[in-house]
Amino acid sequence: MNRVSSTFHNHFLTRSPNIILSTCLRRISTLSVTNLIQNHIHNGNITDARQLFDQNPQSCNTLTWNSMITAYIKHNQMQSAHNLFDEMPVRDVVSWNTMMSGSNKAKDPHKLHQLFLQMKRAGVTPNHFTFSTAISGFVNTFEILVPQLHVLVLHLGLHSNVFVGSALMRGYTRLQDRKGLLRVFDDVVLKDISTWNALVVGYMELGLTVEAQIIFDKMPDVNIISWTTLVNGYIENKKISQARSIFDNMPQKNVVTWTAMIKGYAKCDKYNDAIQLFISMLKSGTRPNHFTLSTVLDACAGCSTFLFGNQLHSCILKSGFHSEVVLLTSLVDMYTKCGDIEAALRVFESMEKKNVVSWNSVIGGCARHGLATRALCEFERMIESGVKPDNVTYINLLSACVHGGLVEEGERHFSLMEGRYGIKAEMKHYSCMVDLYGKSGEIEKAERLVKEMPFEPDVGVWGALITACGLHSCYELADGLENLARDYPTIYAMLVKLNGEKGEWSRAVEMRNKMMEAGARQQTAGSRTEFPLV
């Protein structure tokens, strides 16, 4: 109000009464319109705010435009934010920063990159907000640009800012650049807990658990996030017992800490430990969230504990998490892996939102249960619903074709995969195709595909081919694969079988002896190798 009164006073001294009056009214109306818009935004009435905004273009300054854009972003209306940004008469550094932060929220690093370049071209100088937003958004996609942005940061003297510092530290961590990480850490003069945590994360991600622990022990302050970071770091480095020891000695735990530790067990296939820990969590009085529940469902799927998974389903229905896509997808996956495809399909049908992972789970589930035609139908439905397939979709789809012996369908999808969707065939796609040809007796096609593959075949591809030789008694081809047996000793087992069938007893015995020498019998007896036995 002081600024307003002083402005009035100056006008009284220099202007005629009419001009003074109209200026005063305009100022009052500008102030009140801006305030009203801000009020609407504050109360979440974004439509009313926009209406007022449109009705009073002359009253809206850059600050009001920025507020409107911020409100749209907050309400996940990125397109409206964008339209308004495009119409802005004057864009300041806040306008650009806001749009960049919106792109981060929408997980659109390409848009962020574009905005950053446009901002530079528009001659607007970036500030510490710009860099912390841009660098965070570039990690994972444009991390290669991090050192260049760091140079700009140093040039503009923004390197001691804590936000810029932790963003840069994540960038250098991603680039596996230990020196860069430490240099940025040292440059942040007033380090806070986040700065220290970022160094612990960095060392952990570089596999330097000892160094990470030393830093943790040196930290002037630690919070629950620091502790969880440490536990998670040990888990990522496969040091589960160290993780558990930290976990047990933490001064306090919350749902995030519990979930991280449960996930740690699930990750190293200790599913029962994961479930036991979940039960301890419940006993401790910590309520699970949707992150916890999908982790535990994953553990149930891993050890096929249908009963426990089924109980979790009831919990989910009561929990209020019934619209979480990830959680429901875990549920679908749990049911397919626990053998109840009908329940999986029911859950899937009930899902309001489905993403590519949800579709992949149901297609993979059908494939696993031998419902090849159903898998193909679900794939068609997926395309119709506008969800784009990815590499996993095709692995599941092709394996459905293998189960159903659908050679032509498989061939068609294999060629459409790259032709229509630009998905390059990976090893697993080739191994499905070799398996598909091999199981249906088209050994020549299988062999040709192995030769034409753009990379060296792996155990899965060879396994598929060798199984085919065994199934269809292709002695010639199999005999030619003997040189591979040193790497994949189970080939001997197949050679024993084929030579036996052919009556080549001395060679069968030779192969059997070689197999015993190579320890193939021991290797295959109790292992989880994917290499199929003939």
Nearest distance from C-beta of residue 147 to DNA, angstroms? 19
Nearest distance from C-beta of residue 505 to DNA, angstroms? 45
Residue 8 or 421: the one with the smaller Cβ distance to DNA is 421
Residue 85 or 437: the one with the smaller Cβ distance to DNA is 85
Strands (E) in 316-436, as ranges, are none
Residues 6+ apart with CB under 8 A from 490: 466, 520, 523, 524, 529, 531, 533, 534
Nearest distance from C-beta of residue 132 to DNA, angstroms? 4
Residue 166 or 431: the one with the smaller Cβ distance to DNA is 166
SS3 state at 217: helix
Residues 6+ apart with CB under 8 A from 205: 173, 233, 236
What's 378-396 look like in SS3?
A: HHHHHHHCCCCCCHHHHHH
Residue 287 or 486: the one with the smaller Cβ distance to DNA is 287
Residues 6+ apart with CB under 8 A from 79: none
Residues 6+ apart with CB under 8 A from 520: 489, 490, 492, 493
Count of residues for the chain? 534
Residue 390 or 442: the one with the smaller Cβ distance to DNA is 390
Nearest distance from C-beta of residue 124 to DNA, angstroms? 11
Nearest distance from C-beta of residue 468 to DNA, angstroms? 25
Residue 257 or 305: the one with the smaller Cβ distance to DNA is 257
Residues 6+ apart with CB under 8 A from 139: 146, 167, 170, 171, 174
Nearest distance from C-beta of residue 478 to DNA, angstroms? 32
Nearest distance from C-beta of residue 459 to DNA, angstroms? 20
Contact assessment for residue 442 and residue 457, using Cβ atoms and an 8 Å cutoff:
no
Residue 301 or 461: the one with the smaller Cβ distance to DNA is 301
Contact assessment for residue 430 and residue 461, using Cβ atoms and an 8 Å cutoff:
yes
Diameter of the chain measured on Cα atoms: 119
